[in-house]
Amino acid sequence: MTQTTIRCLILACGNTLRGDDGVGPWLAEWAEEKYRGDPTVRVISRQQWTPDLAEDIAGAESVLFIDCSIESAPGYVSLISIEPSVQTQGLATHHQGAPELLALARDLYDSLPVKTALLSIGAGSTELGEQFSEPVLDAIPHACGLLESTIFEWTR
Amino acid sequence: MTQTITIDPVTRLEGHGKITIQLDSQGQVEDAHFHVTQVRGFERFSQGRPYYEMPSLMARICGICPVSHLIASAKACEAIMSVRIPHTAAQLRRMLNLAQMVQSHALSFFYLASPDLLLGMESDPVARNIFGVVAAKPQLGRAGIALRRFGQHIIELLGKKRIHPGWVVPGGVTEPLEPAKRDEILAMIPEAYANIGLALAAYKQIADSFKPEIEVFANFPSNYLSLINEDESIEFTDGALRLIGPQGGVIEDGINAARYTEVIGEAVENYSFTKFAYYKPLGYPSGSYRVGPLARLNIVESMGTPLADQELVQFKQLAKGPVESSFHYHHARLIEVLHGIEKIEQILTDPLILDKHVRAIAGVNRLEGAGQAEAPRGTLNHHYKVDENGLITWANLVIATGQNNNAMNKGVLQAAKEYVNDGKFTPGALNRVEAVIRTFDPCLSCSTHAFGQMPLVLTLLSPDGEIVDQVIR
């Protein structure tokens, strides 16, 4: 059986029942549709990032993490590079951040993607509900564009 | 004077918990309680919903063991429908439940317990987590992550979602197993065997160094309850309940879901939202019992699979009668993982496993129904009443953690008496008292319903109720 090389792994996180927190899964669904015919792009969407994802990360050439941010201004879209790091303060069993997952991939599988970044969208509201706030709705086209251009650059 | 010490990382429990330890006038431990401080409410807000929605609704109680809730709930609905589900559906559900047991036990052992076991109870709390395990024992870290992934991937393949799959429905399952999925699961089996072999060998190597903890980690005689097959082998999805006493003798056998409320009562204590289950004929608290891996292995005569049977023989040699120390839950958990892998392999070779007939259809034929299953943490019972339109009028869930509640409280007291002296926590005391609770792997989210962060507060109270010492994890 031939294993396809994953040139880019899109790893989204969020809860679709918590307002803007669902923007990560929404973008993952959009990417899934967009790259449906491209076996080198893989999309994984989870409510939380858990340690088992380290193996998927270790096996990919590049990883684009997607999450909402409660620290950024509502609707603010950013793309920042991510380095592996073990953040022990407040470490949770059920959830790791992107730097911790990269560190796990490195420590467990001795492998790291060549390119890694976090695409985040500032949340306006994470109250119970399936609707996005206005700022996040307005930001989605820009986030999609940034996602697409990043994948294009990484996989060309 | 109130003193607060804050320690990170956050606790390694499923849900919110609080421990208070009451001192006498000499500063010695007089009493201890494990509090569960959230309210679940599922029984209440499910009222008025159609019975067939219940499995999906009830699975939302927990993100760790939703499958057990799905199965117990579906079985309660099938009692209302008066149907017997097709053989293939029963086998597929059994595999799903075993996959969940494997992933949940892997989480409990590798993520929650192994930092204590592999790095030491007194090790630096900052590194006492899964990252610390990965750094110190990378091969074991990989094995743990892979075992959890094994279980979760099977759940995803069968139910299409790793958490809260909607595949289990009243009457069976929504779709048959596809050959490609069967082959994919079979291909994962050899690696799973290698990983659990590694874990069992590592555990046996270190277990002897925890003799002092084994002595005081909820180490006392008790009753035990679990499902068992007619051939005396372990069962997670069907079978009937057996209750054994402290010497191992059978107190009552063949307790099916319909008789559950006849023999099992629930007591309430004012310090916890989790109830305290007990065997009615013995009263409360004498009728309290333990459930989960330790209870299951104490009750069964065989695991029903060859490799796990070899391990069961060794396990039963730990004591002349039932194995009493809750520390041995860890060992029992690993043996169950091995059994789960073997059993999944067996199920996949069932000649009817790809059969397309996987669902029985019926409407409301009875106004009351109950279903039971073994969750990773122990026995789970769902009991519903409906009106003639099938709308829920009453529901009650008895969760594993509630059934272990009395033993957990007694265990905390036993450990506190050992590790708390002169009104202060000794070094490592906090972690050891917490570790007693971890052996049970309680799911506080199931036993009540948790939301948000998962702190554990440990409070030391003077005789007049003043807080002497407090640790927030």
**Per-residue pLDDT tens for B6-28?**
222 224 445 556 777 888 877 78
Alpha-carbon distance values, B268 to B278, B403, B427 (Å): 11, 12, 34
What is the maximum span of chain A, computed from C-alpha positions, in angstroms? Answer: 47
Q: What is the rounded distance in angstroms from the CA atom of residue B327 to the CA atom of residue B318?
A: 12
**Would you state the pLDDT for residue B30?**
83
Over residues B449-464, the pLDDT tens digits come to 333 334 566 677 777 7
Q: How many helices (H) and strands (E) does chain B have?
A: 17, 18
- pLDDT higher at B453 or B46: B46
Q: Of the ranges A22-26, B48-52, B107-111, B332-336, which one carries the lowest mean pLDDT score?
A: B107-111
Q: Structure tokens of A71?
A: 């620290």
**Would you state the pLDDT for residue B224?**
98
Q: Of the ranges A46-60, A134-148, B34-48, B280-294, which one carries the lowest mean pLDDT score?
A: B34-48
Q: What is the rounded distance in angstroms from the CA atom of residue B200 to the CA atom of residue B204?
A: 6
**Would you state the pLDDT for residue B468?**
72
Q: B279: closest CA among B254, B256, B245, B247?
A: B245
B349-366: b or e for each residue (b if 16 or more CB lie within 10 Å)?
eeeebebeebbbeeebee
Domains in chain A, CATH or no CATH each: 8-155 (3.40.50.1450)
Q: Structure tokens of A2?
A: 């031939």
Task: Inspect the interface and report whether the beta carbons of B149 and A55 lie closer than 8 Å.
Answer: yes
Q: Of the ranges A96-105, B220-229, B329-338, B454-463, which one carries the lowest mean pLDDT score?
A: B454-463
Measured in angstroms, the CA of B227 and the nearest CA of chain A are apart by 29
Contact B426, B458 (CB under 8 A): no
B238-264: b or e for each residue (b if 16 or more CB lie within 10 Å)?
bbbbbbbbeeeeebbeebebeebeebb
CB of B142 less than 8 A from some CB of A? yes
Within 8 A by CB and 6+ apart from A20, the residues are A68, A74, A121, A123, A124, A125, A126, A132, A133, A136
Chain B, nearest residue to A52 by Cα: B145
Continuous segment of H or E residues that includes residue A45: strand A41-46
Residue B390 φ/ψ region, left for φ over 0, alpha for ψ in the -120 to 50 degree band, beta for the rest: left
Contact B67, B162 (CB under 8 A): no
- Other C-beta atoms closer than 10 Å to the C-beta of B211 total 10
Task: Inspect the interface and report whether the beta carbons of B8 and A90 lie closer than 8 Å.
Answer: yes
Q: A 45-104 residues with CB below 8 A of B?
A: 46-47, 51-52, 54-55, 86, 88-94, 100, 103-104
Q: Structure tokens of B218?
A: 């909820």
Q: Amino acid letter at B374?
A: E
pLDDT for residue A1 is more than 90: no
Task: Inspect the interface and report whether the beta carbons of A91 and B10 lie closer than 8 Å.
Answer: yes
**Would you state the pLDDT for residue B401?**
86
**Would you state the pLDDT for residue B10?**
26
Q: What is the rounded distance in angstroms from the CA atom of residue B316 to the CA atom of residue B331?
A: 11
Contact B218, B330 (CB under 8 A): no
Measured in angstroms, the CA of A115 and the nearest CA of chain B are apart by 23
Contact A50, A112 (CB under 8 A): no
CB of A17 less than 8 A from some CB of B? no
**Would you state the pLDDT for residue B429?**
79
Mean pLDDT of A44-48: 90
pLDDT for residue A136 is more than 70: yes
Q: Of the ranges A77-91, B89-103, B303-317, which one carries the lowest mean pLDDT score?
A: A77-91
Instruction: Return phi, psi of residue B358, to 5°.
Output: -130, 10
Contact B295, B226 (CB under 8 A): yes
Instruction: Report residue B38's pLDDT band, with 50, 70 and 90 as the boundaries.
Output: low
Over residues B421-444, the pLDDT tens digits come to 777 776 677 788 888 988 998 876
Over residues B214-272, the pLDDT tens digits come to 999 999 999 999 999 999 999 999 999 999 999 999 999 999 999 998 999 988 887 77
Residue B62 φ/ψ region, left for φ over 0, alpha for ψ in the -120 to 50 degree band, beta for the rest: beta
pLDDT for residue A64 is more than 90: yes
**Would you state the pLDDT for residue B351?**
97
Q: Of the ranges B360-364, B367-371, B422-426, which one carries the lowest mean pLDDT score?
A: B422-426
**Would you state the pLDDT for residue A128?**
86
pLDDT more than 70, % of chain B: 91
Q: What is the rounded distance in angstroms from the CA atom of residue B137 to the CA atom of residue B125?
A: 17
pLDDT for residue B447 is more than 80: no
Instruction: Report residue B445's pLDDT band, with 50, 70 and 90 as the boundaries.
Output: low
pLDDT for residue B82 is more than 80: yes
CB of B164 less than 8 A from some CB of A? no
Q: Structure tokens of B372?
A: 């039971």
